[in-house]
A and B are shown apart, each in its own frame.
Chain A
């Protein structure tokens, strides 16, 4: 029960932060695809860097047991297909699942429509899961992490991702200033 309470509290905080950042607006999100507003890119990479550095150092300091982390399994085939469908839906709707819920909660009808489509997609996938299962589990790699993929120490990968993110922030600012 306490897990559910914590999940609801984190969800509310996440939704509030997304809404306050303006990411409940499809206009703002589609700016990503026209290279006029790269807020989404900057928000996502900021979240990745913050969570990654926090996880690394909390683990390093003995506050967080990394062995208890749940690492989602990798299924290359299904996840590549899912990424393409997700990207097409994102570009078409101007909203992704989280932002569609935020948009719907703030009274936007397009958000409600996208959230409805999201749940319809989940339902249809569930109804037709049996014939999809073989494809769903194709390209299974278990819990596959970047240090394993690159065969590099954990800390080096953390450093590399931060450098890429910072370079991305600088590039994003320059692109936005141009338009």
Chain B
């Protein structure tokens, strides 16, 4: 059995692997050529209600 993958340690191990996966995807992203979402194609207008507010 891989160390840390049983009992309470499984959550800690999962978090570490998720962090490693996120970092790997981010490193690949840094080298990927992808255009940014263009400001000229925005769909929102000034209004009382706007999308995008979290929490």
Q: A residues engaging B (CB < 8 A)?
A: 44, 47, 49, 53, 56-57, 59-60, 66-73, 75, 96-99, 125-126, 129, 136-137, 140, 142-145, 147-148, 153-156, 158-159, 161-163, 165-166, 169
Within 8 A of A (CB), among B24-40: 25-27, 29-39
Q: Which of B26, B35, B39 contacts A158 (CB 8 A)?
A: B26
- Contact of B43 with A159 in the complex, beta carbons under 8 Å: no
- Contact of B42 with A71 in the complex, beta carbons under 8 Å: yes
Chain A residues whose C-beta falls within 8 Å of the C-beta of B51 in the assembled complex: 70, 72
Q: Which of A73, A97, A125, A137 contacts B42 (CB 8 A)?
A: A73
Chain A residues whose C-beta falls within 8 Å of the C-beta of B33 in the assembled complex: 153, 155
- Contact of B54 with A145 in the complex, beta carbons under 8 Å: no
How many residues on B have C-beta within 8 angstroms of the other chain's C-beta atoms?
Answer: 30
Q: Can you give 28 A-B contacts (C-beta < 8 A)?
A: A49-B22, A53-B22, A53-B25, A56-B32, A60-B32, A60-B34, A66-B35, A66-B36, A66-B37, A67-B38, A69-B43, A71-B52, A72-B51, A72-B52, A129-B48, A142-B42, A143-B44, A145-B39, A147-B36, A148-B36, A154-B29, A154-B34, A154-B35, A154-B36, A155-B32, A159-B29, A162-B22, A169-B19
- Contact of B48 with A56 in the complex, beta carbons under 8 Å: no
Chain A residues whose C-beta falls within 8 Å of the C-beta of B23 in the assembled complex: 162-163, 166
Q: Which 6 A-B pairs have the closest CB atoms?
A: A162-B26, A143-B42, A159-B30, A155-B29, A72-B52, A96-B55
Chain A residues whose C-beta falls within 8 Å of the C-beta of B34 in the assembled complex: 56, 59-60, 66, 154-155
Closest residue on chain B to residue A96 by CB atoms:
B55
